Amino acid sequence: MRAVIVAAFVAFALTMALTPLAAKLFRRLKAGQPIRSDGPQTHLAKAGTPAMGGVVFIFTTVLAYVAGHLVLMALPEQVNGVTFNRPTGFTATGIVLIGLFVACGFVGFIDDWIKIRKKHSGGISGRMKILGLSIAAAVFGLIAVYYTGSIHTDEISETVATPYLSFTREVEWLNVTKIGMVIVIIFLVNATANGVNLTDGLDGLATGASMMAFLAYMIIGFWEYRHWCGGAQPAANLCYDVRDPLEIALVAGAAAGAMFGFLWWNTSPAQIFMGDSGALGLGGLLAGLALTSKTILLLPIIGALFVIITCSSIIQYTSFKLTGRRVFRMAPLQHHFELAGWSEVNIVVRFWIIAGIGVAIALGFFFADFLRIAG
């Protein structure tokens, strides 16, 4: 747990320190966020606010992950005669998680850069964005499903992902085959990345919601580590057959710390926006955490707010195409409430509550399953 705490603190401290410096640099480079002309008129006052803040917290999360590993290497392998199986170097799980975070963030960075260069809210096309995310998901999905490597110093070989879908554990009758799992990963990354991107419409909204989701995965990862089938004394009926669960907790903790630090500067009135580089990166990492912790079907509950906001856009688009009428005053959902007269801060806080409820329900399912088996 010490390594996880150190990683979270390092990410928080670095993000707190580097974000305002990045904001000043982006202002000098005139890397301001273009504002949609068809969006809420109150957003026009935000024109010129530095974008691409996601570059900062992706960078600090990676550094914090490395710092966490330095702590793991320094910890004793045995305490009171009990051997702890910890990663001493970078693992396949870490490569998949950090790789998805950076690769999806890079797709968003290209989108942000084009927007800034053109000084227009339209970046790369939707199809190109999906293509970029799909390539990233496919590469790391193939690694997760097909790469077999030894776990730490043991001779046990195991892939990061299996052909089975999962809720709180793998569901044995939901075998989608290996290539099917790669397709699931591609869908999962696209859905989650775009869900976070749609949510990133108000100051601090996506940042706070993402932080809660990462905290949930930090708890899940550490619990799986403490009850890991690859640990010292696993209980066969209770242990989690997950590769490198401590890596999951480490990366999730680092990301949560980075989000906490970024929220200081991103909350209303935002001094910097995360941009697509941040939103797509966060979505890719959330998808990776669901995959590696074997909680794929639990992710829609952990990310309930992202699901709700995405569904509002789908409903709006479908209704307008089929009937010519709009269900909401504006989509995504947060803009509907803006036009209804709610203040930005009220919307953000109330949506955070929804995100928190989703996280609480998901953790309830996760621990209820453990207690069910234990009982």
Task: Give 243's pLDDT tier (boundaries 50, 70, 90).
Answer: confident
**Which positions ≥6 away from 345 have C-beta within 8 Å?**
268
Cα distance between residue 17 and residue 40, in whole Å: 32
Cα distance between residue 201 and residue 273, in whole Å: 10
pLDDT of 99 above 60: yes
Q: What is the model's pLDDT at position 87?
A: 66
Q: What is the model's pLDDT at position 209?
A: 96
pTM of the model: 0.92
Question: Average pLDDT, whole number, for the chain?
Answer: 87
pLDDT of 372 above 90: no
Average pLDDT over residues 82-102: 80
Q: For residue 266, how many other CB atoms are within 10 A of its CB?
A: 27
Which of 88-97, 246-255, 285-294 is the least confident region?
A: 88-97
Q: What is the model's pLDDT at position 50?
A: 82
pLDDT greater at residue 206 or residue 80: 206
Cis preceding linkage at 332, omega within 30: yes
DSSP 8-state class, residue 330:
S
CA distances from 33 to 128, 185, 258 (A): 20, 31, 21
pLDDT of 233 above 70: no
DSSP 8-state class, residue 50:
B
- In the chain, at which residue ranges do the beta strands (DSSP E only) sit? 78-79, 82-83, 149-150, 157-158, 164-166, 170-175
Task: Give 303's pLDDT tier (boundaries 50, 70, 90).
Answer: very high
Which of 153-162, 167-176, 177-186 is the least confident region?
A: 153-162
Structure tokens at 88: 């001493």
**Which positions ≥6 away from 39 have C-beta within 8 Å?**
330, 335
CB 292 within 8 A of CB 343: no
Task: For residue range 325-352, list pLDDT tens digits in order.
Answer: 888 888 898 889 888 889 899 999 999 9
pLDDT of 45 above 60: no
Task: Give 125's pLDDT tier (boundaries 50, 70, 90).
Answer: confident
Q: What is the model's pLDDT at position 330?
A: 87
Task: Give 81's pLDDT tier (boundaries 50, 70, 90).
Answer: very low
Task: Give 52's pLDDT tier (boundaries 50, 70, 90).
Answer: confident
